[in-house]
Chain A
């Protein structure tokens, strides 16, 4: 215990390990110092501590000026005041300064009610705007995924930290300086002209309304009201463990039944499940893994290993932009949402006798890159997309509230058949390691012909950035690796390029912790416990399912019997597989 540092915060004795910040030390004794730019998702690599907003300042005895508690480490004998008149006044003035360069349009702001600046204004009892003057006029942009209104930016640099340090995409950074500073791509370019993957992590961490999702709710309302259209829903696995938070449920509450009911109440004609698409993905991707492995074991030197997952649309954008020389490695399987769309608009539509142009497939996703994915030309037939458009978990919550649906009073219902049947393997797609675990369950049983003694591959679960495991496939040591965040993906891809990557299968998810912390999920506001609770719920959902392996999903088996034939068949290739393009900036 010799590494403990003793100090006093607001007259209370505190003992914390060396290296702790004053902010964390205060939190350990229940003193909640307000902070704005600071973000630390403990246990992940998401961290932003530029000490630039100066909201978290505290008084340290013997120090001339105030200290930023987020970036000041504790020292032995330190005497800290977090609530002296000097501190409280300074903090309020700093917040008033931020407000003086912020549009005063909270009523119509997409972030109203979820804005961290708005919360501070309430907390600091700011009732008027003492400082008025020139306001910054910065760029606005509407991409298919992300809406940028940088007039609302408070320069906390969180987006810059995730884009550069976590995702290593490096699109966002400070342009110009002083009062003219703006956070933007280099040379103030538009997102569409950069390497942006639309992962949406900048949106997930933005404290204000500067970065938000592209809203598709009005478009959806129009379609739901149109009697000529058949509108079907497919919610992703990660949506059902996070949507409840928007309605006052504790994080990690599973609301699958209420989700299905709410979608019906909204007017969807059929409520299916992306989990069906996830099971289908495992059938195709699992077969691809087995095919490449068999070729490899048969002595084929040209086979591309490791095979990499391709479910995550931001990850697909990432390697198309950055690794055009390695496009043969990722699996050609489409993402579960796109597989669902392709099957819904062929197999199911034919079965139901619904013409393609009348069918509207809407995906409800934890993700903003999915919006971009829907727009890809290769996922359209004669200009008609397989998935018409995607809305995020947050957009769905808004739509439910707007449609006068009391979510908490809804009864539980099941998804419609046949595209609503799914296994526990599909449920875990939402957490990092989930796709790998689901694939292993099927690959193991198909390869060995034996039943898995234990379904849980716990070695690929958890928040570690890169997880490795070796699975015994009847004597063959299958080396697998799971990475989340694009920074970790870049590490693996650079090793692959250098010929030093010794795995057979690699899973990559762009967002920290996987889809459960996607760019379209309810805001976590820096609380990693929310994300952990969602992960726990994902695995609880799996454990509660009667069928827990994709290849045992009866409706998937029926789909192959009636329509597709076998995994990797010609029809499967046509409908369920894709190709990748060199999109590097020239």
Chain B
């Protein structure tokens, strides 16, 4: 058993373990060599907001088959993090796919940065530090983040002295 809190994204946790087994696979049997790679690719899609609902079913089927058919202990246990997160935290997978939301704020691609116009003093510190030049505005007036340009690096969040940057 591994204990984690609400700051951990269950999809990312599954992906973390799978990255390890893909790296460790010897490549002998099909389910481990190709199956784990395909599971990782599906998890990549889901955490980057490109997942589809059918991906979750595919993932579950693949995990069961790999567990059932892989040659050695590594392959037979590699889908366990996927299977256990799917059975206990399926709603997190669905949120990632349907709502493009990572409630633990771990999946960068799913985050949306915005500036609270009430709290923003228009100091321009965020805009000056933004590496993507995604923030614009007039001094002493609320600044605005362009979501197209934003690379979700979190620089504005760390620099703002007024707590005006929101992340969803």
Contacts and interface: CB of A to CB of B under 8 A. Distances in A.
Interface of A: 50-55, 57, 65-66, 68, 86, 89-90, 93-94, 97-98, 100-101, 130-131, 133-134, 154-155, 174, 176-181
A115 B91 CA distance: 43
Pairs of residues from A and B, 10 with the lowest C-beta to C-beta distance, nearest first: A181-B27, A178-B25, A133-B41, A93-B65, A97-B34, A54-B69, A177-B27, A178-B27, A131-B38, A179-B37
B67 A52 contact: no
Contacts of B31: 54, 94, 97
Given A53-B30, A65-B69, A100-B34, A93 B61 contact: yes
A534 to B, nearest CB: 33
Interface string B26-67: 111111011101100100000000000000001001100101
A94 B69 contact: yes
- Chain B's interface size range is 20 to 34
Contact of A90 (B29, B65, B76): B65
B46 to A, nearest CB: 14
Given A66-B69, A90-B69, A54 B30 contact: yes
B99 interface: no
A77 B62 CA distance: 31
A178 B38 contact: no
Contact of A66 (B24, B35, B61, B68): B68
Contacts of A66: 68-69
B154 interface: no
Contacts, number: 88
Contacts of B62: 93, 131
A535 B69 CA distance: 40
Q: Which of B30, B70, B76 has the most CB of A within 10 A?
A: B30
A98 B67 contact: no
A93 B26 CA distance: 20
A101 B34 contact: yes
B117 interface: no
Contacts of A177: 25-27
A576 B70 CA distance: 56
Contacts of B65: 89-90, 93-94
Contacts of B23: 178
A52 B29 contact: yes
Q: Specify which of B28, B37, B67, B69 lies most central, judged by the most chain A CB atoms within 10 Å of its CB.
A: B69
Nearest to A136: B34
B71 interface: yes
Given A94-B65, A97-B38, A54 B33 contact: no
Interface centre among B23, B33, B34, B38 (most CB of A within 10 A): B34
B41 to A, nearest CB: 4
A151 B26 CA distance: 18
B18 interface: no
A179 B27 contact: yes
B27 A174 contact: yes
Residue among B29, B67, B68 with the highest chain A CB neighbour number at 10 A: B68
B38 A155 contact: no
A573 B72 CA distance: 60
Given A93-B65, A100-B38, A155-B30, 14 more contacts: A52-B28, A54-B31, A54-B69, A54-B71, A94-B35, A97-B31, A97-B38, A98-B34, A131-B38, A133-B38, A133-B41, A155-B33, A179-B34, A179-B37
